[in-house]
Chains A and B, each alone.
Chain A
Amino acid sequence: EVWLLESGGTLVQPGGSLTLSCAASGFTFGSHAISWVRQAPGKGLEWVAGINERGIGTLYADSVKGRFTVSRDNSKNTLSLLMNSLRAEDTAIYYCAKRLIADTGPFDYWGQGTLVTVSS
């Protein structure tokens, strides 16, 4: 059974830092690109960052470029998102999601999400 499970979401002050983790199982982790997608309260989905199968290539939305860093450890089937200089507008549920085929295709499996709240 395929699953992804995020952790690390919490309340953090503006300007602070936080690292989210995503553990995965049930598929060949190192054969699929994975992304972080977020959803602010009552809003739509926003792609945040993605990393290719080997972890060599990373891409970011303009809204987080220079502040967020995505990485992966294929030996441990885990993905991380380091978030620096957090702002109120980063408040959202953060999902990790795997691509259907290598580094292409839609997101066929998602985690249940972890809530990040940026507030003083």
Chain B
Amino acid sequence: DIQMTQSPSTLSASVGDRVTITCRASQSINSWLAWYQQKPGKAPNLLIYKASTLQTGVPSRFSGSGSGTEFTLTISSLQPDDFASYHCQQYHAYPLSFGGGTEVEI
């Protein structure tokens, strides 16, 4: 099974900051990685897939990079609406698996 490790688990930042979250896979997943944003009491929302493809409607301040086992999600200029939890997910192989999540807080 493929294990996904996210870091940090919590990130304190301010509006306007550049924020980077890292996700590592226990084996190569090529570029089959997605990032989701989740707000309290809500379902996850797809931000990025195939490591770097922005989902329709997602602001361009979000970007993803990486391949193989190391991936990053970057928010170029943090906005008030971006304070949320972020999850990475591999869909290279079953069982599908998620990272532990990163909470971005003020």
Contact = CB atoms under 8 A, between A and B. Distances in A.
Interface residues of B, number: 21
Contacts of B87: 44-45
Q: How large is the interface on A (under 10, 10 to 19, 20 to 34, 35 or more residues)?
A: 20 to 34
Interface in A79-93: none
A44 B97 contact: no
A106 B94 contact: no
A61 B2 CA distance: 12
Interface of chain A, helix or strand or loop or mixed? strand
Contacts of B36: 45, 106-107
The 6 A-B residue pairs with the shortest CB-CB distance in the complex, in nearest-first order: A106-B34, A110-B43, A47-B96, A45-B98, A106-B49, A44-B101
Contact of A105 (B44, B45, B49, B94): B49
A61 B96 CA distance: 9
Contacts of A50: 94, 96
Contacts of A59: 94-95
Nearest to A65: B95
5 contacts: A45-B36, A45-B101, A106-B34, A106-B36, A110-B45
